[in-house]
A and B are shown apart, each in its own frame.
Chain A
Amino acid sequence: MTRKTRRLWIVIACVACVGSAAALTLRAFSSNIVFFMAPSQVKANPPSPDRTIRLGGMVMAGSLHRINENGTPVNAFEVTDGQAAVEVHYTGILPDLFREGQSVVALGTVQKDGGFTASEVLAKHDETYMPKEVADELKRTGKWDPRFGKAPDASSWDTMTAKKAGG
């Protein structure tokens, strides 16, 4: 075994491993990347029902109610970004920090009827915290300008104009 052949073996092993790692990564990326969408984007072009997305926005105040589907409790609430609202169904215990009028991120799929079935609902530890994606979306649509204080109550968004939010 000379130095050269040993090096050849090592190079072959490296190429094989790194190559398969790259192939696996790409394959996993193509089927498992989760895009973030705001409710208005979901309404405008709904993704296919087999595609998992992250839906983010504020929980519309007064929209939370429970449905009982064959003994399993389902939480239903509306998530809004101020332009559109999407009805979310979630089976399970809502996180401790879930509140109406506060921001939320839900992981799940959009159904054919336009509803959203969540497999996971995230509300962050800090009650003044808003997920970055949600804050960006609010700023982009002109519903909220952080220079003028706290984000407005979610229930008012659908009727609110950008001017009112800023002033």
Chain B
Amino acid sequence: MFGPEQGHFALALACVLALVQFAVPLWGASRRDARLVGLAPYLAVSQLIALGYSFLCLVMCAVSDDFSVQNVAANSAVSKPLLYKITGVWGNHEGSVLLWTLILAVCGGAVSLFGRNLPDILRGRVLAILGGVSAGFQMFCLLTSDPFDRVFPAPMDGQGMNPLLQDPGLAFHPPILYTGYVGFAVPFAFAVAALIEGRVDAAWGRWVRPWAVAAWCFLTCGIALGSWWSYYVLGWGGYWFWDPVENASLIPWLTGTALVHSAIVVEKREGLKIWTVLLAIATFSFSLSGTFLVRSGILNSVHAFANDPARGVFILALLAIVIGGSLALFAWRAPSLTSTGLFSPVSREGSLVLNNILLCSICAVVVTGTMYPPFMQLLAGRTISVGKPFFDAATIPLTLPLLLAMGVGTALPWKRAQLARTFSHLYAAAGIAAVGLVLCFWKLSGILPIACGALAVWVIAASVSDVLRRIGIGHTSAQGVWERMKNLPRSSWGAALAHIGAGITILGLCGMSQAEHAIVEVHIGETRSLAGDDWTLLDVHDYIGPNYKAMQADIAIRHNGKLVTILHPEKRDFTTQSQTTTEVAIHTNFITDLYGVVGDRHGTGKDTTYVLRLHRNPLAPWMWLGGLIMAIGGAFSLSDRRMRIGAPKRAAARNMARA
């Protein structure tokens, strides 16, 4: 019922359905044949069913320990816990490509189900584009990385999974991150459909924005989760490597953030149309290139799964078709889109334009820093690399004006603003930011952290004061405030939340720039102090886990003689894979993380010493908390009635029914 052959067949069926989904609605739309266009949603849903079945087959193979399947034999083992048997399905190259196409099919299904109020032709074209991209990736899956390959003779047990990947955080990281990446396929499809149609209007902006916001929320969560994973699993005390794979997720996030903002201008003012279409294309192109960077091995990194040239060439061809094709279409059709809404430089639109320019500049810097080393190697044969110092020096100065504009932007009205009046709304926030600046001078060192910290306080204060002003605190009665709170659109609440989240993340980053650490070698019972805390190694003992041997240390942390916590970091030795992993111990009070790692044991008997690494990370949890708040803000604005697709139409229908 759920064997690998059935799964393989279902995958091939889904690929054919995707090809039909690509060709028929496009052909039908050009002939104005409503029946052919109307087929698109049915095709999209049947493709989703076929692909879902195929994915289920692969999961069943992994759960039932069918080691005759190459993919399961290479990545699973009988002794693996059930959760990791399931999540291990997407912990490898073949499975992750299948997951990617499944999420793309889910997007197609979602457009079919939630897009009932879209014009038929537009929906048909959007689904056709999604089907085309789907077909490409499914072909990639079938031809170069078939997850259902059999192996003969079948081994008795699988080779198991990298113990580093056996972690609940990483188990759910890929699906969330991929949903973010793939979700931008929908705005991309909308952009291409609009180019084919030659028309972009406010309604288009309203249809695109929820999809972009949803994808952005997932991508934000995915990046935050990945960074958190590398913080508490890899045990090096940092949170972001500026590794090519991490940058590959940051780049579409930057352009996606710009897209979410510029789509507002299309929706409200019918401006920035061409630019928004270009951003939608660019964001998905960067998402695709992100997968390409990971999969092809052009950029080797800790995360890479596969280094197979055939796959690289296939992906490269796929990228050339999708990105090159859409950009060519853009060059051909974009001039026919004209903007109407006029605005002065000092206005809400103006601030959104500034936001877009700055985000894209930061994105350009990150792209340059990521792509320059491999290009240099290709062209000049010199091996170079750039790391944190480069990215810090080049991106932080561009972030400062962005933060400044974030605070001012929400206070500006559309079309034209009077500076004096706008500033009068911002006095309170500026005052709080000044206090923040003083606090930063006191607590932080370094010009950039101080400036970033003060501006983050400014962003938070300006967002809060903006909401307070809109609900009329201090101007109207409690009753009036309550009424206004109810009437304030959820997208305004969402925007304020997202901006506050961004401010909190920046504060977390500033705090982390002041992190302190010490590497010490101690006997049992010895005490060392780090930044005002006394760390004592109480005891070290060995124990045997399910599939590893572990050395666990007990470290007591005292502050002014009072016990704060006892940390239990471990070092685990996985014998089957001959791998060692480090289990970090973290104590957090949501303001400071105390982070302990146990290293090697040296010497014997009374002279045994242990190497410990001790970190004190101020405000570390805020980085991920801010990311979560940003995503919640996005989700909140997604629940806005105006953001739901076709809401006005539906409301009109309901009114008619009532009448």
Contacts and interface: CB of A to CB of B under 8 A. Distances in A.
A93 B387 contact: no
B581 interface: yes
Interface string A76-119: 00000000000000011110110000000001000000000000
A34 B343 contact: no
Contact of B387 (A34, A68, A73, A94): A34
Nearest to B162: A125
Contacts of A66: 602
B112 interface: no
B581 A91 contact: no
Interface residues of A, number: 44
A147 interface: no
Interface in A1-50: 1-3, 6, 9-10, 13-14, 17-18, 20-21, 24-25, 27-29, 31-36
Given A25-B369, A72-B520, A36 B398 contact: no
A54 B394 contact: no
Contact of A20 (B384, B389, B397, B521): B397
Contacts of B393: 24, 27-28, 31-32
B314 to A, nearest CB: 22
B365 A21 contact: yes
A75 B106 CA distance: 52
B229 to A, nearest CB: 14
Contact of B302 (A32, A72, A107, A124): A124
Contacts of B358: 17
Nearest to B350: A9
B302 A125 contact: yes
B2 interface: no
B405 to A, nearest CB: 11
Interface residues of B, number: 50
B398 A20 contact: yes
A31 B368 CA distance: 15
A28 B390 contact: yes
Contacts of A54: 383, 385
B480 interface: no
A24 B383 contact: no
Contacts of B599: 93-94
A91 B357 contact: no
A153 interface: no
Given A6-B342, A6-B345, A21 B385 contact: no
Contact of A34 (B386, B597, B609, B611): B386
Nearest to B373: A33
A125 B164 CA distance: 9
Nearest to B528: A71
B607 interface: no
B534 to A, nearest CB: 15
B582 interface: yes
Contacts of B369: 25
A133 B394 contact: no
Contacts of B389: 28, 31-32, 52
B623 to A, nearest CB: 21
A24 B394 contact: yes
A93 B611 contact: yes
B655 interface: no
Question: Chain B interface mostly helix, strand, loop or mixed?
Answer: mixed
B382 interface: yes
A32 B580 contact: no
A164 interface: no
Contacts of B520: 71-73
Contacts of B383: 35-36, 54, 133, 136
A134 B501 CA distance: 43
Interface string B378-403: 00001111110111011001100000
Nearest to B303: A125
Given A32-B389, A34-B384, A72 B361 contact: no
A38 B521 CA distance: 31
Contacts of B387: 32, 34, 107
A167 to B, nearest CB: 28
B521 A68 contact: yes
A132 interface: yes
A158 interface: no
A86 to B, nearest CB: 17
B300 A132 contact: yes
Given A66-B602, A96-B579, A125-B162, A91 B364 contact: no
Contacts of B300: 131-132
B398 A17 contact: yes
Contact of A36 (B384, B519, B600): B384
A86 B354 CA distance: 50
B613 A93 contact: yes
Nearest to A124: B302
B373 to A, nearest CB: 8
B353 interface: yes
B362 interface: yes
Contact of A33 (B390, B602, B611): B390
A33 B582 CA distance: 31
Contacts of B30: none
Interface string B159-185: 000101000000000000000000000
Q: Which of A9, A52, A94 has the most CB of B within 10 A?
A: A9
A92 B385 contact: no
Contacts of A96: 571, 579-582
A18 B360 CA distance: 9
Contacts of A136: 383
Contacts of A28: 386, 389-391, 393-394
Interface in B619-635: none
Nearest to B354: A13
B585 to A, nearest CB: 14
A2 B397 CA distance: 32
A9 B345 CA distance: 7
Nearest to A126: B162
A35 B384 contact: yes
B384 A33 contact: yes
Given A24-B393, A34-B384, A3 B342 contact: yes
A1 B343 contact: yes
Nearest to B362: A21
Interface in B361-378: 361-362, 364-365, 368-369, 372
A24 B345 CA distance: 25
B382 A35 contact: yes
Contacts of B384: 33-36
B357 A6 contact: no
A141 B583 CA distance: 40
14 contacts: A1-B342, A3-B342, A6-B345, A13-B345, A13-B353, A17-B361, A18-B357, A28-B391, A31-B393, A73-B520, A73-B609, A93-B599, A93-B611, A96-B581
